[in-house]
Amino acid sequence: MPHRTTPAHRSEVALAAVLLAALTAASAGAAPRGGAFPWFAPEDVRTPVEVQVTTPDGESRTVRRCGAPAGPAKARAEVDAALDLWRSLGKLHRRAEKTTIPVAVHVVRGDGEVGEVSDRQIADQIRVLDRAFRRSAFRFDLASVDRTERRKWHRKCRPFDERGRLRATYRKMTSRLSVDPGTTLDLYTCDLLREDLLGTAMLPWFFLGESPLDAVVVDYRTLPGGGAAPYDEGDTVVHEVGHWLGLHHTFQDGCSAPGDDVADTPFEAVPAIGCPVGRDSCADDPGLDPVTNFMDSGDDACAARFSKGQRRRARIAVDLYRPGIGGPAGGEAVKPPTPSSRSRTPGSRTPPAPVRSPTP
C-alpha cells in the first residue's frame, strides 16, 4: 500500500527540514564562489572511482562509476543526527508496509535514434530495480515513459561541472521533463559516458523540498542489454536509487568512522573493482569487504544485496525527507498510472498526446 502523509506529518517534516538546513549550513559553510553546490565536497572530485567499460562498438574506456556527491563530513554528521532523532521519535510506524514508488523514465536522445532505449529495456530495468529492493520497505512501478530528442541535453546531462556547480542544461532538462518530484522518482537516460560517467543521483536531503532537480541520471547503455559491459545489467540504476533513498558508498571514509553510517556493512578501504570476494582491506576491523553490496563499485554480475542496516536507514531517510513518495499532496493513496510512452517536442512545454508503444 502506498505511503499516506498527513498535514501534521508534513508540518513535522517542514520544521525538521528548516532546523536541519540551519545546522548543515553552519557545518558546511557558505557555498564556494562561483555558485558551487554546497553538498559538492572537494574530495568528490579529487578521488573518483574509475572503472573500465567496453561500449557496444568495442571501445574500452575509463569512466567514473558514480557522480553522486556525498557532501562535507560535518554536514553528513548533521544529517545522521537528524535521522537518529527521527528514529528515536518513533516515526517508523508510518512505513510499516511496503511503499510503492512510481518511476517516470525520461529517455533523452540525441539526433535521430541516438540514445534510444526500448520499452523492453525499460521494463527489464524496473524489474531489476524492484527485485534488488524486494526485502526493503519499497517497491517500484513504471509510471510513465517519455522520449525527448534534444542533442544538447543528451550530451550534457551531467548535473554538476568539475567545480561542483549545477549546470544550466541539467536545470533546463529537469524543469521541462520532471514529473511531480514530491511523489515520483524521475529517472533520466542520456549519454553520460561522453562525460566519463555511468550514473549519478541526488540524495534526499539535498534540496529539502520538492525540486525538479531531485532525480537519478544514468547512461542509457547501463540499462539491461545496453552494452556498457560489465555495467549493463541494470545495477547502475539500483546503485543510484540507493543514493536517492539516502545510502552512501560502502567505502565511504575508508577504514575510518563513521564510514557509510550503517553498522552492518564492514569498513572498506577502497572500492571493489570487478568482484574481489573475500577481500579484507580493513584488516583491523571485523568483517570482510562488502564487495557484493549494491552500494560498492563491483561489476553488475557481482552486485547482489543490501544489508539490513541499509534497508532500515533508507526507510528512515525516506520517512523524514520524502514523506510524499508514493502518494499525492494531501495524503491520499495513489495508484501509479498505466505505463505509457510519449514523445516531447524540444520547444514545447506541454507534451503531445501519447503515442502507442510496443507492449514489453
pLDDT grade for 94, boundaries at 50, 70 and 90: low
pLDDT at site 208: 74
* 277 pLDDT tier (thresholds 50, 70, 90): very high
Residue 75 is predicted with a pLDDT of: 86
Q: What confidence category does residue 301 fall into, taking pLDDT thresholds of 50, 70 and 90?
A: very high
pLDDT higher for 140 or 350? 140
Catalytic: which of 149, 240, 268, 332?
Answer: 240
Q: Please report the pLDDT score of residue 176 as a whole number.
A: 97
Percent of the chain whose pLDDT exceeds 90 = 65
Give the span between the Cα atoms of 20 and 325, in whole angstroms: 20
Given the C-alpha cell 498527513, which residue does it identify? 6
43 a catalytic residue = no
pLDDT digits (tens, 9 = 90+) for 226-255: 999 999 999 999 999 999 999 999 999 999
Compute the average pLDDT of residues 253-273: 94
Q: Which pLDDT value is given to residue 346?
A: 39
Q: What is the pTM of this model?
A: 0.85
CA-based angle 263:268:271, to the nearest 5?
Answer: 130
pLDDT above 50 for 336: no
Contact yes or no for 231/252 (Cβ under 8 A): no
Residue-wise pLDDT for 59-75, tens only, equals 999 999 999 988 888 88
pLDDT above 90 (res 315): yes
